[in-house]
Structure formats: structure tokens, C-alpha cells
Amino acid sequence: MHLLDAQNITKTFGGLTAVNDVTLTIEKGRIVSVIGPNGAGKTTFFNILTGIYKPDKGTILFDGKPIAGLRSDVIAALGMRRTFQNIRLFNNMTVLENVLVGMHTHLHAPFWQILVRSPGVRREEAKARERARERLAYVGLDAKRDELAKNLPYGDQRRLEIARALAGEPKLILLDEPTAGMNPQETDAATELIRRLRDELGLTVVLIEHDMRLVMAISERISVLDYGTKIAEGDAATIRSNPRVIEAYLGKGAAGAAA
Amino acid sequence: MTTTASSVSAWERIKTALTSGPSGYGFMVLYAAVCSWLLLTNPRTNLNTDIVFVLFLLLVLLVYRSQLVLGFKLALVAVMLALVLPIFGTLNPFYIDVATQAGIFIALALGLNVVVGFAGLLDLGYVAFFAVGAYLWGILSTPQITLINPAWSPVPPIMFYPFILIGLAVGAFFGVLLGLPVLRLRGDYLAIVTLGLGEVIRVLANNLDRPINITNGSQGIRDIERPPLIFAGFVRDTLGWQLSDQQLYQQFFYFAILLIVLLVVVVVGRLKGSRIGRAWEAIREDETAAIAQGIPLVRMKLLAFAVGASFAGAMGVVFASKQLFINPPTFDLLRSINILSMVILGGMGSIPGVIFGAVLVTLLDLQILPRIANVLRDAQRAGLPIPAAFDPTQYQRLLFGLLLILMMIFRPQGIMPDERRKEELQEHDSIPDAIEHAKIPDTESEVGLK
């Protein structure tokens, strides 16, 4: 069964067609990558999936429900979470609080009960904290839970973003360049973490990534975008030898030379 | 090097001795006793009493920041604020009025802090909600209502009590109403539009005397009803205190406002530590990331506007009743800015900070700056070489402005900025963590001394 089924998605900004008739289906429990040169429309595509932009054309089914045009927070509540290309943490909140915010859709304490701090509210809060710490421990950040997010080293910030997304108990997690700016060791650790998300937590993962070593190592399926259009799709070996992909990345002459 | 080090540690030792352990209790009680004795034996309004009064209020802060047992802190503050200060108020009406005003502004500043400090929505028209509450009671409790429709009659004064709650609801309603058009705006744009909406309310109050006289225009509303003194018999007969009605009203409003402030503090504290408070903070930090966590932006922003405005609405009812008279200039832009300066001076988002800011600005406005001006003027008359063209009483706001500028240069985060709540856990499972925890008292007392 397809967890995500995006059909014929098109989005234009003025005269620019950022995403052009892109179709992407993702099966449950897969690690899928979306790659392409800068400006190919990858992040725009993510923004459409998560409801930041409304598609001009196309339908999106998530877990069987149509979500195209729904508000971002509604889509997030349905179980699709993401990280951002340029890390977007809540900088002046602690690491633990960042994760607690990620759990927002799972906390239901009503306003009046919060005002009187009913036992139910206290229980829910205590449970949430415990759960948040588990999530932090999972990505290896529990010891830093009281630090402000902005004071974390870069690699930890990336991991915190993942922990925050995990806190929402998602079915699908979209990672927008999770290893951008990382050194090789950090990248290896991140690769390992992404693999564990799927193997241990049973998550479905969609990646946007430029690090081809990582993409080729963990993706079961790769979709290539160029100028907003999907130009290729398949497993790592297929993509590596696809002339259109090589052309998109290296230019026209290179494709001939490689072939 | 060694001298500075030892002098610092000596200072630290004194600080520790005065704020913790048996010496701490002794110091606080002695301090409270001396201040109380000075106030109660010498209640005239003059510079000395001013100083003692400020020191008296400063003790509340010191007790709050100290390392003493919570029960003791609460008991001492309760004795000071619910016993000494009211008794002092029967001897000198000026100071209890200052305290009452401070209370009103604490509630307002805490309300604005929900919007500006928690949710990060810069609102320059906040006083509008205060005006709505004040006019609500002003119009409905006086014959003004008969000018709207001769068939209607004023509500009886006893309705004051339920009207505090109605003011709360009406404030919240207006908060949502004025919040709706600004939902899509951020930062500067939001500030300008809220400023405009705030002015709209004031201008409406100023001009809604025609065609139907609803607000009595620039004349304002006079003789606003005060609630009946239902406890007068108890105080005069049972307690045997022969207080005039005037004094009883002062006591009544002081205690009513003290109670409301307590409730407001509890409410904002609980909201802050809840999923709602975290959602507000997340919106303040990064709207896009907040939505991506499933936080419904519109609902949460409107909730912030509603909660903030509701405190102002309720306080408006109490304020109108206390002042007996309201008119449009009471609710001008300067008032909004004044409340905002309390929030910023104290420390945005920090509940103790905002309380401190509200008290500080009220004291500066009503007491300290006028007193400094008086002292300067006396010095001028006594022959100090201050140019005659410089009239110190005209320059109070200048001093206030200077203070704001200095604050923003040297302590932009406010006097008592929000401290991140540390997870209160017994075990420290890593060394850096333990060090982090060990540092807390230091920074706390540093802040407390400022």
C-alpha cells in the first residue's frame, strides 16, 4: 500500500514552473531520496507535501486521505513531519522543550484544566516529559536536554530537529538535506540514524540530499528532479547510469563521455 | 588579582549569609520589621517615607530571590502586603494608592506579556482592551445608559462583582475581534496595525457622543459606581476600626486588585508551563517551524490575544470603579507604550520580571521621578546653579526616557530576564550537566542584585 501518493503535482510562481507534473509514490517502510541540482524544485515539492504551498494541479493522498490544500498543521497532525534545509529550531527554548513542542498534537489538556492544573494535566505533562527524554536519548541528546537549542553544535542541532519530528509520532518523515554542512564523521552518524529510523521505528523516510555517497548507500529508490520535472526514478544503480541524470548534474558533454 | 578575588568572595559570602540559612531569616525579618516600624510610626508623605516605601517593596523582591523556605517567603510577603501595607494605607492614603496603581499595571503588563512576551506578537494598542472594560462598567453603572435608551436603567452597584468576569469575557471577545485582522501580519506591520486599532477604540470613545450619546465623548463619564461596602460593618464593629468610607474603599480596591493580581500570576504561570505556553513560544521563535509541529497558528494567536485582553478588560472594570471618572485621554497610545515599557524593562516573557517592571515604572511615574524633580527644584530655589529656564518638574519624562535608553544599551534583555526552566531532576547523569546545574545559584543572585 502506498503511504504517500502524489500525482501530477504542478506549482508555478509567476512565470516560473517550480514543480512540473511530478508524480511520486512511496511505499510504507521505505527510504526514498529526491535528488537534483540546486533549484530543481526539491524543497518546493516538500513544501507542497507539507502544506506550506498549495499545488496548482495534482492530488496528494497521504495514508489514503487527500491532503492537497490542507493547512500545514493539519497535515503535521495526520502524521507527516519534516526537518528543514536551513535548521529551524526554537532557538531560545531548551532542547527538551523543542521536543515537547513537537508533541503538541498529542497533548490534549483542555484550557480550563491547565488553569486549575488538574491531576490529568499533571499526568499528561509528566508523561510527555518522559517520552520527550526517550526521544532525546534515541538521538543521543538526553544529556543536553536543558541547553538552549541555539547553543548546540551544528550536528546536534540537526539531530534535535529529527528528535522533534519524531516526537510527533509520524508515519512519514521528510528530511530536507539532513547532512548539509556536516563533516564525514557527522554524515556517517546521520546516515546510521536515518537507517535506524526505518529499521527500528518502522518509519517511512523521504530525503532530499546532495551527498551522493549517503543517497546511494541508503536509498531504496531515488527520484531525480531537474527544472521542476521528474527526469528519472529507480534504484541507485539505475540512477547512476542514467544519461539524463548525468547530464543534469554534469552537463551535456559529460553524459556522452560517461556512456 | 588576589585582592579582587577575595573582595568578590567576601561580597559573595555576605550575599549568601543574607539570603540563606538562619542569618537569612533573621535579616529578612529584621529588614521587614524596621521598614514596617518606620512606615507606621512616620506616615507623612516626604522623601524619607518615599525611600522607606521603596525599600519596603524591594524586600518583596529580595525575599523572592532568596534561598529561604517557600512557606517562610510566602508568610513574610503576605504579612507585608496584606497587613503592614494596608495599615500604613489607613495612615497615609498616598502610598496605598501607589501600590494599588502598581497592582493594576502588574495585571495589565502580565496580560500584554502573554501577547508580546510569550507569543511574540508586538501589540501597541493593548490599552484598548483596558478602555473597553472601563467603559463597559462606566456606561452600564451610570445614568449614561439612559442616554442610549431611556428605557434602560443602570445596573445596581452590587453587579460590580459579576461585571469583573463580564469584563474578562468582553476583553477576550475584543481581543479576538482585534486579533482577527492582524493574524497574517508579523513584526513591524503588526505593531503599526495594532497601534491603529488601539487608536480607533480611543477615537470611538471620544466621538461616540453623537448621534446617540454612548460614551459621552471627550467629557468622559463621571460618578461611576463603586460596589457597596458589604464588609463595612465587619471592619467597624467586629474589628473595631473606625475607618471612613473613603479609607474603606481604598482598602477594598487594594485588596481586590491584590487578589486579581494573584490570580493573574497563577494563570499566566500555568499557561506558560503548559502545551499552550510552549506553542506560543514556538510561534514567537519560528512560525513556520511551529506550524510544521502541528500547532494551529490562528487558534493559538487568537488565544494569546484573548487571554491578554481579558485581563485588561477585567482590570478596566475595576479601574473605572476605583477612579470614579474615565475619559478618552486615559487610554491613549502613551498608556500602551508605558505598559509595553514595563514588559521590556522587566524582561519580556519573564513573569517576575514583568511584575518588577510594572512596579518599577509605576513607582518612577508616581513617586520617584516627581520626587527627584521636587528635590531639584528645591535645590534650584536654594541657589544651585541650574538655569531658571530649566524647570525640573517639566523634565520627568526626559529622565524616564534616559533610563529606558540606558537600559536598552546595557541590559537589553530586561532587569529579570526569563530563565529557562531547568528540569528538576535529582540525578546528574553527565559531568557537564552537573556543572550546568551547579552554576544556577550564581547567575540567579547576580540577576537579583541588579
Query: What is the rounded distance in angstroms from the CA atom of residue B127 to the CA atom of residue A32?
Result: 54
pLDDT confidence of residue B439: 38
Nearest chain B alpha carbon to A173: B292
Query: What is the rounded distance in angstroms from the CA atom of residue B112 to the CA atom of residue B339?
Result: 8
pLDDT confidence of residue B427: 37
Beta strands at A57-62 and A229-234: parallel, antiparallel or unpaired: unpaired
Quick one: pLDDT band at residue B239, thresholds 50, 70, 90?
Answer: confident
Contacts of A96 in chain B (CB under 8 A): 423
CB of A93 within 8 A of CB of A72?
no
| Cell (9 digits) for B290 | 511551529
- What would the mean pLDDT of A96-120 be, rounded to a whole number? 96
Residues in contact with B243: Cβ distance below 8 Å, sequence separation at least 6, in sequence order: B90, B235, B236, B251
Contacts of A72 in chain B (CB under 8 A): 291-292
**pLDDT for B424 beyond 80:** no
Q: B294 at the A interface (CB within 8 A)?
A: yes
Rounded to a whole number of angstroms, the distance from the CA of A19 to the nearest CA of chain B is 21
Contact between A90 and B292 using a beta-carbon 8 Å cutoff: no
| Enclosing H/E stretch for A207 | strand A204-208
Mutation for B interface: A94, A99, A101, most B CBs within 10 A: A101
Of A167, A189, A168, residue with least CA distance to A178:
A189
Global pTM value: 0.90
Cα distances (Å, whole numbers) of residue A128 to A107, A136, B295, B320? 8, 12, 16, 44
| Cell (9 digits) for A136 | 532525546
Nearest chain A alpha carbon to B434: A143
Cα distances (Å, whole numbers) of residue B18 to A144, B30, B308? 33, 11, 37
Contacts of B291 in chain A (CB under 8 A): 52, 71-73, 76
pLDDT confidence of residue A255: 56
Q: How many CB pairs under 8 A join A and B?
A: 109
ipTM: 0.94
Q: B186 at the A interface (CB within 8 A)?
A: no
pLDDT digits (tens, 9 = 90+) for B50-98: 999 999 999 999 999 899 999 999 999 999 999 999 999 999 999 999 9
Q: Between B47-65 and B369-381, two packed helices, what is the crossing angle to 10 degrees?
A: 150
Query: What is the rounded distance in angstroms from the CA atom of residue B377 to the CA atom of residue B364?
Result: 17
| Cell (9 digits) for B345 | 524593562
Alpha helices, H only, chain A? 42-49, 72-78, 95-102, 111-116, 119-139, 154-167, 184-199, 212-218, 236-241, 243-250, 252-258
Average pLDDT over chain B, rounded to whole? 89
Quick one: pLDDT band at residue A147, thresholds 50, 70, 90?
Answer: very high
pLDDT confidence of residue A58: 95
- What would the mean pLDDT of A224-234 be, rounded to a whole number? 94
pLDDT confidence of residue B442: 38
Of B410, B375, B409, B415, residue with least CA distance to B395:
B375
**pLDDT for B264 beyond 50:** yes
* Placement of cell 516538500 in the chain: A46
CB of B181 within 8 A of CB of B300?
no
